[in-house]
Chain A
Amino acid sequence: MKLQVAKMAEKKISRRKFLVRGGLGTVGVLAVGTYLFRGVIRRGIAGAINTADTPYMGDTSSPIMWFEILENNTIVLHSPKVEMGQGTFTGLAQLVAEELEISMEQISVVHAQSVSGNMDGFATGGSTSLSALWVPIRELAATMREMLKIKAAEKWGVNTDGLEVSDGFVTGGGNSMTYAEVAEGETEWEIPDVPELKPIKDFKLIGKPVARVDLQDKVFGAPIFGMDASMPEMLYGSVVRPSKIGAKYKDADISKAEKMPGVVKVVKEKDFVGVVARSFIEAENAKAAIEVDWQTDKNWQTSDIKSMIEVGKGEPFVIQKEGNPKSMIENDDTKIVSVYWSPIGAHAQLEPNGALAHVEEESATIIMSTQVVKISRDEIAERLDLDADQVNIIPTFLGGGFGRRLHTPNGIQAALLSKAVGKPVKCFFTRKEEFQNDTFRPPTHHVLKAKLNKEGLIEAIEHNVSSGDVAFGSPMVPGIAEPILGADLGAWRGGMVQYGAIPNFRAVSWRVKLPFATSWWRSLGLLANTFAIESFIDELAVKAKKNPVEFRLAHLQDDERGKRLASVIRTAADKAKYSDEIVEGRAMGVAASTDANTPCAHVVEVSIDKKNIRLHKVTCAMDPGLVVNPDQVRAQCEGAIIMGMSATLFEKMEVENGELTPTIYGPYQMALMKHAPKEIDVILLEGADAPGAVGEPPMGPIGAAIANAVFRLTGRRLREMPLQLGSV
């Protein structure tokens, strides 16, 4: 039987993979789950790469719950993807409601818990949530709709042919029942073959700017985040975290801390020391009284890191090659060479990392903000020596993700503190700990070289990018993949030459092991790589005395990828009325890139106010394929543009005497209200009939677009992020 099920687990869902529970052990009158996706496609690693689609990687050995029908005839979707602001809950609800023929008021979305719901073995990230679930979740919803029709027909003794569904009702032959009434008390269900999905022309909800499903909760202050979780008899934990890079915990003197007010227990583990107290403040005060013996080998400085990261120092991997650009450029007396830098970046998400854990004899419940539910569960189970199914992760809304919650040692720490005191313990980072123990966006160094031909077109181009690890070292990419892949796919995201009509091009990714943790930061290497490449393309256009829009179009190949990129560049330039002229102290800049199959172009308008670069207007043209919710796609563009601007103009971590600094907002300067552009014009093209990436692609071109505008305004080419004019 087991074999049979496994064998059936192909891409398509089939009737025997469904699990139906009528009124059993759930709050609803019907719970529909599935054995779907057992033995899933293991394309996770390749999937995260530039152009490949990331498949849905749900993987489970037991039935998993997707939907519940409640007595009030609303549907609860148990989402395997977490909501961190990107609007995935709303998009998924639209897909489900479309096939179930219900209104948006009739659906709510919750995070799937690890014991009962579906888990994505990959993560929530990489701008893949809607594209990966686009087909499977609609197939599930459509199947459930047909099940309800069959059941209603059975009850009424009629044929399903004459039945219709709308607004959560099945009607036909003078009968009418809500889905909940149809399901009430039923435990035996006939499961049909997966029906045909609704054609695009019939969509009623997909493509509409419906309001976010979490809007009310977020406007009226509902306790929906990991930080807001509580349990009866809950205590507060705090873990001592190192301030120095590379510091290893050896031992600690806890004698003073143990006597501090409110302290329940000071807990020493093999790799950390922490305290449990009655309140957060008491836990923090006691923590300050713990004297830890750290072992550190070196007092790192920014200059050390900058020197390590230079192209030529790490391990090189050629990631792209066409023709023979290297010798061609080296032998050219007129070659153009430029060097670009980007700094260490912090995630700086507003909700600190943390978890509320309750560990009992043979089970553990962990409420936490995480982008990797399955990985969090597995690593906690391993450390507690429990089976994976004895650990229940209850994911919450995330107070910002951006890649910060792909590493979750905080879950383990909360669990061990809870185990030590036998009570629920909530434990989270302070802001200083967040800034010093982040998994940073790695600094990068770029060397670009090119040769122009007599017509002023690029004959050969080469991009060398050197970066700390992004994908490597992450629990989502197994160590075994590193020697196969060679180059870190996260570091070179956006690092390839995208102008396919250039006859000779080459891109090389240099891998550097840095002494502090680096990882995924919204869009991975895209922002830095596009900053370097698209600034350089602008330099070449200037050198060739050509319009930067036309210069880009002239180098795009005549295939689908080239055409879609050309289309967004043209659209943005036309809508913004791109011009090289300076008008009333403002200049324009253009840049574009394709990320995860979504091309995006920005035209920006900037001015200079004293030494400060001011961004006034952004015209963004993006082609993410089919748009599920235009309002939320726009929201993602607006947010990515301003977050990208923040990194371009302000953000920078330094390393001083072994410590990462600054450790607080303000000194870690970020974009505020006063810096945000007052005009953002987003034009969405739909060059494909399925949804593609949205959350990250619009971040790519913003840095270069700003730098290119600053050049037009000042004649100065700024090649280091954050862009600083100094004295003008």
Chain B
Amino acid sequence: MTILLQVNGVDHALEIADENMPLLWVVRDILNLKGTKFGCGKAACGACTLHVDGEAVRSCSYAVKFAMNKKITTIEGLGNEQNPHPVQKAWVEHVVPQCGYCQPGFMMATAALLSKNPNPSDEEIDKNIINVCRCATYYRMRKAIHRAGELTRENLTNETTSS
């Protein structure tokens, strides 16, 4: 079937034989965006987290048919070196990644959290950021999440002031 979707601002019409193919593999192997990772295939680790219409979704267990006419954002579309997302800025400031494999998933989950709640408490972070990191960079991640919240709030204030 033909799947219409927008990925990182670009419209795609994709011929997909199996409409139940997980969105992860469409993004990685058809659109060649490798930033979204395969970790477990069962929505248990969060390495494949991306945004569907702004919501954090574990794409390894999300059939592509559900993405029809939706806006997908992956780590490649979150920001770039010239124009980093506050989460990416904070991740760089705190030198969070070690092996780095799970980090796009964490950053996407964090960005989704901050879009709803730009000032999360430690308890809210614990409840919402439930991905798995084997290098166990959690200590720095928590600091970076708070910092990203701060940057997000600054952006919001600037927007309000300038509008």
Contacts and interface: CB of A to CB of B under 8 A. Distances in A.
Interface of A: 84-87, 211-212, 214-225, 227-228, 230, 261-262, 279-281, 347-352, 397-402, 430-431, 631-632, 635, 638-643, 646, 664-666, 670-678, 680
A622 to B, nearest CB: 16
B29 to A, nearest CB: 6
Contacts, number: 178
B32, B92, B132 pick with most chain A CB within 10 angstroms: B132
B14 interface: no
Given A281-B18, A350-B134, A221 B75 contact: yes
B157 to A, nearest CB: 24
A643 B137 contact: no
Given A220-B88, A223-B34, A430-B41, A84 B99 contact: yes
Contacts of A677: 139
Q: Is the interface of B mostly helix, strand, loop or mixed?
A: loop
11 contacts: A214-B97, A219-B107, A220-B35, A350-B45, A399-B99, A638-B136, A638-B137, A643-B135, A643-B136, A664-B44, A672-B138
Contacts of A680: 139
A400 B76 contact: no
Given A220-B81, A431-B42, A642-B136, A351 B98 contact: no
State the main secondary structure of chain A at its contact with B. loop
A219 B91 contact: yes
A670 B136 CA distance: 10
Interface of B: 17-18, 21-22, 25, 29, 32-42, 44-45, 47, 74-76, 78-81, 84, 88, 91-92, 95-104, 107, 122, 125-127, 129-142
Given A219-B91, A280-B25, A665-B45, A638 B140 contact: yes
Contact of A664 (B33, B40, B125): B40
Given A281-B21, A673-B130, A673-B141, A664 B37 contact: no
Contacts of B45: 350, 431, 665
Nearest to A632: B95
B103 A219 contact: yes
Contact of B134 (A227, A349, A641): A349
Nearest to A435: B40
A85 B39 contact: no
Tell me which of B127, B134, B141 has the highest count of chain A C-beta atoms within 10 A of its own C-beta. B134
A350 B42 contact: no
Nearest to A282: B18
Nearest 10 CB-CB pairs, A to B?
Answer: A221-B35, A399-B101, A85-B99, A218-B100, A85-B98, A642-B136, A221-B75, A676-B138, A223-B34, A674-B126
Nearest to A221: B35
A225 B80 CA distance: 19
A431 to B, nearest CB: 4
Contacts of B107: 219
Nearest to B96: A219
Contacts of B99: 84-85, 349-351, 397-401
Given A225-B101, A431-B41, A402 B134 contact: yes
A704 B112 CA distance: 38
A639 B137 contact: yes
A350 B47 CA distance: 8
Contacts of A640: 136
A400 B92 contact: no
Contacts of A227: 34, 37-38
Given A85-B99, A351-B37, A399-B99, A635 B88 contact: no
Contacts of A672: 126, 130-132, 138
Nearest to A349: B134
A49 B39 CA distance: 34
A671 B131 CA distance: 10
B134 A631 contact: no
Nearest to A402: B134
A217 B139 CA distance: 21
A211 B101 contact: no
A641 B139 CA distance: 10
A87 B137 CA distance: 13
Given A220-B88, A281-B25, A635 B98 contact: yes
| Residue picked from B42, B95, B103, B125, most chain A C-beta under 10 Å | B95
A673 B142 contact: yes
A574 to B, nearest CB: 22
B83 to A, nearest CB: 11
A220, A352, A397, A639 — most chain B CB neighbours (10 Å): A220
Nearest to B20: A281
Given A399-B37, A642-B136, A673-B142, 16 more contacts: A85-B98, A218-B103, A219-B84, A221-B33, A279-B21, A281-B18, A281-B21, A350-B132, A352-B39, A397-B100, A639-B137, A664-B44, A671-B136, A672-B126, A672-B138, A676-B138
Contacts of B80: 220
Contacts of B125: 673
Given A219-B103, A639-B135, A261 B17 contact: yes
B38 A85 contact: no
Given A635-B98, A665-B45, A673 B138 contact: yes
A215 B132 contact: no
A682 to B, nearest CB: 10
A266 to B, nearest CB: 19
A683 to B, nearest CB: 16
Nearest to A671: B136
Contacts of A262: 17
Contacts of A666: 44
Nearest to B44: A665
Contacts of A224: 100
A221 B97 CA distance: 11
A635 B95 contact: yes
A217 B44 CA distance: 25
Contacts of B103: 218-219
Nearest to A216: B81
Contacts of B18: 261, 281
Contacts of A212: 95, 97
A677 B122 CA distance: 12
A60 B30 CA distance: 40
B135 A673 contact: no
A647 B74 CA distance: 32
A435 to B, nearest CB: 9
Contacts of A280: 25, 29
Nearest to A261: B17
A676 B142 contact: yes
B61 to A, nearest CB: 12
Nearest to A351: B101
Nearest to A680: B139
Contact of A350 (B32, B37, B126): B37
B134 A348 contact: yes
Nearest to B17: A261
A580 B132 CA distance: 34
Nearest to A644: B136
Contacts of B98: 85-87, 635, 639
Contact of B122 (A215, A402, A639, A678): A678
Nearest to A223: B34
Given A397-B99, A664-B40, A665-B44, A639 B104 contact: no
A681 to B, nearest CB: 11
A149 B140 CA distance: 43
B112 to A, nearest CB: 15
Contacts of B29: 279-280
B97 to A, nearest CB: 4
Nearest to B106: A673
A680 B79 CA distance: 30
Contacts of B44: 431, 664-666
